Structure 1
């Protein structure tokens, strides 16, 4: 039962989900008026580009034996997916979330791009960082920033995300997917770009 729960945590809070959660969180908290059709269009685009397209590309890579599993356990099999994800995120920044429309989400995804490229460079040098921790910590920092930006109380969200971060770290350690060092590297790889970019929009 414990094994099932810990595997479930890794699956439910998969890195592919976090960008979408960030977008939904922003739309649910922002006091700015954004037409519902615009929100729906943005969310639909993010679902297609950050979840469905990467899953389809994963199965293609698996078919041609470039990756072994969705968890990308080795640094070697991380290279192509991370590069592809960087290109997809860049496409989102150019076509879906431009700074002239929704500046907060633009810089959130710019932070995601920086984290992904950092993870890619680390993988080139055979340094493994937890992509789960990168995604979850990046979203957590973005949520904190939104609370500060709009001066709204999101203590519940922050508390929940800290619990989730702990659960993810526990899950990845128990499943022997990462070491403590890899989790810490992932945590700071996710946090640092989001913190650095705050000065451009906060």
Structure 2
């Protein structure tokens, strides 16, 4: 059971969630997007949102700035969150500028707002769940996507609701967060996506 719980936390790790959301968008969107552009965007996003953060983590670990990938203390979180904000800004300028695919541009604006909020809370010594920030933000984006394009993706939404619950359960079981920290993370993920809806929905 513990192996399964740990697997859930790893498979649905925060650095993977934006890539999952963008892949979902390209698969389900009725908007015509050239296939070569889709591949270029996915590869660029994979490098910036997955490969680069992993490299930064190992650099920080080598420099003694963090002890583990779990970032157990608020102090350990500050520098990685700062780097993450910089990466998101880079994604906004180079991968998903506003004039290309507005839905994805504002999705990442929401992610940036969530990351900044999480960073501020870390400075204030509060450890919101980054796992729930990621799943909450993606779940809200999926709901907005369905409304925007008038597409029935109830099956996908139900599956992702189960995934969100499983992630929350795994974080509790592993004693990585309290219920308060999980709830805060979920709200920090959802609310910024709600805020940016007015610009693209």
1:14-33 maps to which residues of 2 (within 5 A)? 14-33=13-32
Q: TM-score, normalised by structure 2?
A: 0.99
Equivalent residue for 1:81?
A: 80
**Equivalents in 2 of 1:161, 1:69: separation in Å?**
28
Large movers: runs of 4+ above 4 Å: none
**Equivalents in 1 of 2:100, 2:27: separation in Å?**
17
> How far off its partner does 1:154 sit?
0.7
- Superposition RMSD in Å: 0.5
Deviations 1:57-100 (A, max 9, x none): 10000011111111111100000000000000001101110110
**Equivalents in 2 of 1:57, 1:91: separation in Å?**
15
Equivalent residue for 2:4?
A: 5
> How far off its partner does 1:29 sit?
1.1
Equivalent residue for 2:190?
A: 191
**Equivalents in 2 of 1:82, 1:177: separation in Å?**
18
> How far off its partner does 1:22 sit?
1.0
**Equivalents in 2 of 1:43, 1:154: separation in Å?**
22
**Equivalents in 2 of 1:71, 1:145: separation in Å?**
30
Equivalent residue for 2:65?
A: 66
How many residue pairs end up in the alignment? 201
| Unmatched runs of 5 consecutive residues or more in structure 2 | none
